[in-house]
């Protein structure tokens, strides 16, 4: 599988407690991205954050949160990301989704052309 040099970064912000069909939403999204043969997905867990509600989520000892912020990043061609968006929309109840254009310098073992 190859990702074009001019690609798109899909970034999904959600909470640790978000679910899709009784599974963690972040896990369901990554598995669906893999099923649709996207270039790859990375889940990042944040130690602190807030969203639409302005409620602070943190790992600080005195304010332990059970709903830490998660970010999923997926990079692939604009066409493949656009095909994934309607599927993602059906999976998400809330959260923030952003897209930005990126230049792929390296993917896998070789250099991008």
Confidence (pLDDT) at 106: 85
Query: Which helix (DSSP H) or strand (DSSP E) does residue 28 occupy?
Result: helix 25-35
Taking 90 as the threshold, does the pLDDT of residue 13 lie above it?
Answer: yes
Confidence (pLDDT) at 78: 96
Taking 90 as the threshold, does the pLDDT of residue 19 lie above it?
Answer: yes
3-state secondary structure 87-108: HHHHHCCCCEEEEEEEECCEEC
What's this model's pTM, rounded to 2 decimal places? 0.84
Q: How far apart are the C-alpha atoms of 44 and 42, rounded to whole Å?
A: 6
Confidence (pLDDT) at 46: 84
Confidence (pLDDT) at 93: 87
End-to-end Cα, the chain, rounded Å: 13
Structural domains in the chain, CATH included, are: 6-111 (3.30.70.120)
Strands 96-103 and 23-24: unpaired
pLDDT over 70 percentage in the chain: 81
| C-alpha closest to that of 102 among 76, 79, 70 | 76
pLDDT in tens, 45-82: 987 777 766 666 666 655 555 678 899 999 999 999 99
Q: How far apart are the C-alpha atoms of 54 and 8, rounded to whole Å?
A: 29
Taking 60 as the threshold, does the pLDDT of residue 113 lie above it?
Answer: no
CA atoms within 13 A on the CB side of 65: 19
Mean pLDDT of the chain: 87
């Amino acid at each position: 599988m190859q990702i074009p040099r001019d690609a798109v970064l899909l970034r999904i912000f959600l909470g640790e407690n978000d679910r899709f069909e009784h599974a963690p939403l972040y896990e369901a999204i990554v598995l669906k991205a893999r099923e649709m043969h996207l270039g790859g997905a990375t889940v990042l867990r944040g130690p602190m954050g807030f969203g639409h509600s302005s409620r602070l989520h943190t790992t600080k000892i005195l304010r332990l949160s059970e709903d830490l912020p998660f970010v999923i990043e997926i990079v692939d061609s604009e066409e493949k990301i656009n095909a994934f968006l309607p599927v993602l929309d059906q999976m998400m109840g809330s959260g923030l989704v952003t897209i930005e254009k990126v230049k792929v310098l390296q993917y896998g073992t070789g250099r991008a052309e």
